[in-house]
Structure 1
Amino acid sequence: MKFLDWYLKIGVASALVGASMEFFMVKTGFYDKVTVLESEKRALENSPDAQAIREALNPWRHVDTKETNKP
């Protein structure tokens, strides 16, 4: 345990840096902004227009339908 004090100093310094980053993100409203952006992204991805575009860009859509229609 020759370097135990060195590892403890690095661990404490890392914890302080991480805690200060979290504190900054909470104080600036970062998490609220990310929550709003993620909900808007999910709403857009689930819209009928986005689903139609996704199906139109799928090059295997005809192959998939032929395989599912086989008896």
Structure 2
Amino acid sequence: MKFWDWYLKISVVSALIGGSMEFFMVKTGFYDKVTVLESEKRAWESSPEAQAIREALNPWRNRDTETTKDT
């Protein structure tokens, strides 16, 4: 392999950059914040208000499923 040292340098630099990004996210509490935001999003999406909004935005959704069942 002609460019073995080049590939090795690229892989080491990439691993260092990725590791430093993960370290930063762990130290700043990024994963904890994302977990809380995702759980709040899922709780809101399953609420009656969100279902009413979803139904209001797409009133033909049930008609499409009924036509596919009839055929």
TM-score normalised to the size of structure 2? 0.84
In the superposition, the TM-score normalised over structure 1's length comes to 0.84
Q: Aligned partners of 1:69 and 1:3: how far apart in 2? A: 60
Q: Point out where structure 2 has 5 or more consecutive residues left out of the alignment.
A: none
1:36 is aligned to 36
**How far apart, in 2, do the equivalents of 1:69 and 1:12 lie?**
56
More helix by share: 2
RMSD of aligned residue pairs (Cα, Å)? 2.2
| Aligned partner letter, 1:47 | S
Deviates more, 1:52-61 or 1:31-40: 52-61
Q: Percent identity?
A: 80
Measured after TM superposition, the shift of residue 45 of structure 1 is 0.7
Structure 1: runs of 5 or more not aligned:
none
After TM superposition, give the deviation of residue 53 of structure 1 in Å: 1.3
Equivalence map 1:59-70=2 (5 Å): 59-61=59-61, 63-64=63-64, 67=67
- The C-alpha deviation readout for 1:10-61, integer Å capped at 9, x for no partner, is 1001001100100010011000000000100111111001101111221314
